[in-house]
Amino acid sequence: MNSPRLLQRGRYKYFVKYDVCIFFYDNNNVNKAYYIWGVILSGIVLIMTLFLNICNLRKLTNKSNKRIRNLSGRADLHLAIYTAILTIGLIWLNVYYTIRSIGVFLNNNFIYQSMLPHFGWILDIIVFGSVWSLFLISTKIRRSYIKFYKNLLHL
């Protein structure tokens, strides 16, 4: 995603708006290319996740297909919940990048600035949401995590 920075010269401009420090390149071509790559990459990941989620839901609804014998019905359900949480987060991430890209193309700093403080939590869902959903879904992972920190505190 940082390839536009390598192709054209530009420096960050920092300013504070809505109690958030926002960076923006002084060369608008770098901004445009940066957010085009953001929309493309998040769109590719979104399409792949939707495909995997649909495949998993088809497997859940079609129980006559017994190719994978190691997974129980409960594990399949947990995987479906996990992929659904990740898919929802990726849809919001793609909307986030698209709206910020529109703001860059229109040279409208208000659209660009308002997306970060109001929708910055989308990045938190992508980064931390999948991990926490695994902790909430899988009892084995949750117990091993708690056991690890109990042993760490007793040292």
pLDDT tens per residue across span 36-76: 777 787 778 778 877 876 776 666 665 555 554 445 566 66
Q: 138 is written with which tokens?
A: 């899988």
Where is 105: in which H helix or E strand? helix 73-105
At which residue do the structure tokens 């898919």 appear? Answer: 87
- The answer to whether 82 and 134 are in contact (CB under 8 A) is yes
Q: Which of 12-16, 53-57, 147-151 has the highest mean pLDDT?
A: 147-151
Tell me the pLDDT band of 5, cut-offs 50, 70 and 90.
Answer: very low
